[in-house]
Amino acid sequence: MPTVSNPRSDPAKRAAAYATFRPRRSRIVSIVAAVATVVVFAIVGIQVPRGGENGWSGQDSVALVVFGVAIALFLLRYALVHAKPTESGLHVQNLISSRDIPWAEIVNVQFGGGPPWLILELADTETLSVMAVQRSDGDRAMAEAQRLAALVDAHNHTARDD
């Protein structure tokens, strides 16, 4: 497990230790899917027959494209998932919610078995999913989970030593 003995001492090590956590594969997939959705809905909206007994109106075509854009915007929410470590704690931006957690509140970092992303155990016995570190990223995700665990450990040791 990487150690972060004093993330404040060396600026280069500090920058690496406090880099924002972001998923790689799901981010790429969500961006590609969003673009493909807009393209497909736009093509269908343009190509559908208009007028007549079985045709669509221009408003139907526009509504179809708007619906495709709405789906794409939801898909792009996956690309915005991240976790940003700071001196005071961790800011977690998941798919729908965001939360700031002080380092002292984080008891344990779990990564592996069940859920497809990292789980934080908090001091109040609650858990928090961190979608920014996902198993689909393989070895990179394991290294990121270890980096976060090292940050938690370094900050909690520093707090206990003070």
Say yes or no to pLDDT of 160 above 60: no
Listed in sequence order, the residues at least 6 apart from 91 whose beta carbon sits closer than 8 Å to its beta carbon are 83, 84, 85, 98, 99, 100, 101
Q: What CATH number does domain 11-22+81-161 carry, 3.30.70, 1.10.530, 2.30.29, 2.40.160?
A: 2.30.29
For residue 1, the model assigns a pLDDT of 44
Q: What is the pLDDT of residues 29-40, one digit of tens each?
A: 999 999 999 999
Structure tokens that stand for 45 in this block? 């909206």
Q: What is the pTM of this model?
A: 0.77
Task: For 12-69, give the DSSP string.
Answer: HHHHHHTPPB--SHHHHHHHHHHHHHHHHHHHHHHHS-BSTTTPBPHHHHHHHHHHHH
Mean pLDDT of 139-149: 93
Q: Where are the domains of the chain?
A: 11-22+81-161, 28-78
Listed in sequence order, the residues at least 6 apart from 96 whose beta carbon sits closer than 8 Å to its beta carbon are 77
The pLDDT > 90 percentage for the chain reads 64
Listed in sequence order, the residues at least 6 apart from 55 whose beta carbon sits closer than 8 Å to its beta carbon are 48, 49
For residue 21, the model assigns a pLDDT of 95
Higher pLDDT, 23 or 14: 23
Q: What is the pLDDT of residues 45-86, one digit of tens each?
A: 888 777 666 666 777 888 889 999 999 999 999 999 999 999
Higher pLDDT, 151 or 162: 151
- Looking at every residue in the chain, the average pLDDT score rounds to 86
What are phi and psi for residue 13, nearest 5 degrees?
Answer: -65, -35
